[in-house]
């Protein structure tokens, strides 16, 4: 997938998951997430312990994510998916493009938690960027 330009969109937070909801449909896709979720404990002596995330912890994160997206008038993403997106030219790195989108929203006076105006603005920016890249 990487050779075809697909990049993983991490969706553990409301902002990132909002991008999956507003990304240009022809430029996003998903695969089933078969990873075993874990968290790490780092000890002062350098040891790192990995622990499997419990079903209750997964449910709590899902509730928080659903609430964050609802505040933006967006649906919660389906569970169990890894989202991949392509970025429009001239950007190559997803992180750089997303940072640019945040900067544009800030310049327009839209904070990420500004309700439905923020994702609609981001959706239009992404759509416009892909249209410009295609022309």
The string of pLDDT tens digits covering residues 20-75 is 888 999 999 989 888 777 778 899 999 999 888 887 887 787 788 778 777 777 77
Q: How large is the average pLDDT for residues 98-105?
A: 93
CA distance 13 to 65: 6
Q: Which domain holds residue 37?
A: 2-134
Task: Give how far Cα 22 sits from Cα of 14, 55, 61, 74, 134, Å.
Answer: 12, 28, 21, 9, 19
Q: What is the structure's pLDDT at 11?
A: 64
pTM for this entry? 0.75
Domain count, the chain: 1
């Amino acid at each position: 997938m990487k050779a075809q330009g697909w990049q993983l969109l991490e969706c553990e937070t409301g902002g990132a998951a909002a991008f999956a909801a507003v990304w240009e449909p022809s430029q996003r896709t998903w695969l089933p997430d078969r990873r075993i979720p874990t968290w790490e404990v780092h000890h002062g002596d350098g040891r790192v312990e990995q622990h499997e995330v419990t079903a209750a912890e997964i449910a709590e994160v899902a509730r928080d994510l659903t609430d964050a997206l609802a505040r933006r008038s967006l649906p919660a993403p389906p569970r169990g998916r890894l989202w991949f997106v392509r970025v429009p030219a001239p950007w190559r790195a997803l992180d750089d493009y997303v940072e640019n989108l945040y900067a544009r929203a800030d310049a327009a006076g839209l904070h990420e938690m500004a309700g439905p105006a923020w994702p609609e603005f981001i959706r239009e920016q992404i759509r416009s960027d892909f249209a410009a890249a295609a022309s």
